Amino acid sequence: MAEKYKLIKDLIRLEIEDFTFPKKEYRTSRHDTVLPYNWALGPTWTRFFDGLKEEKIFGTKCKKCTKVLVPARTFCPSCYEDMEEWIELPQEGSVETWCLVNYKYYGQVRKPPYIIGQIRLDKANCSLTHFIGGFDLSDPDKVRRKMKTVSRAKAVWSKEKHGDIYDIAYFKPI
């Protein structure tokens, strides 16, 4: 394989004169690795997830810039101030954007089709990423037509609570 290799970039020709691949060919084999781990939540996210178990959505408010962020944060990413004031937020908000996922890939937590969206809860200064559902998602064209008319959504709670983000089953268009 002692060929000359060429790279063309921005109409400039660059030649690599003395490069050859090694003569030995290497075999490869595929192995999928799953790496389970425990995530230390800390006091802020623990309180946020405990609120979800009680069907309450909490955010934290910055004392300097007054932004309310959800999920709750330990410090304000704009001011770098500690965020110690907790605010219970309404369970409704504006749908800022959405994406219909209708194909399978490794590691999905939900079987397609599903919609993942950004919902800005009322009184919050940022959006929350979560599922949008509560209607038939089997026909992508019908989903697009319906979602064009959706501007608001409300949290629908899971029957069984685990103290995680999936305690909110999805946000239903209203």
- Return the structure tokens found at 65: 């810039």
> How many whole angstroms separate alpha carbon 115 and alpha carbon 59?
24
Contact 76, 64 (CB under 8 A): yes
Residue 31 is predicted with a pLDDT of: 80
User: What type of residue is 17?
Assistant: E
Per-block average pLDDT, block size 10, for the chain (174 residues)? Answer: 42 54 74 83 95 98 96 95 96 97 89 96 97 95 93 97 97 96
| CA nearest neighbour of 57 among 65, 49, 45 | 49
Residue 113 is predicted with a pLDDT of: 96
Residue 127 is predicted with a pLDDT of: 97
Where in the chain does DSSP place strands (E)?
Answer: 5-9, 12-16, 57-61, 68-69, 85-89, 92-101, 114-121, 128-132, 152-157, 168-173
Any alpha helices (H) in 7-153, and if so which ranges? Answer: 42-53, 140-148
Q: What global pTM score does this model have?
A: 0.79
If phi > 0 it is left, if psi is from -120 to 50 it is alpha, else beta; for residue 48 that is alpha
How many other CB atoms are there within 10 angstroms of residue 168's CB atom? Answer: 20
Residue 16 is predicted with a pLDDT of: 55
In 3-state terms, what secondary structure has residue 143?
helix
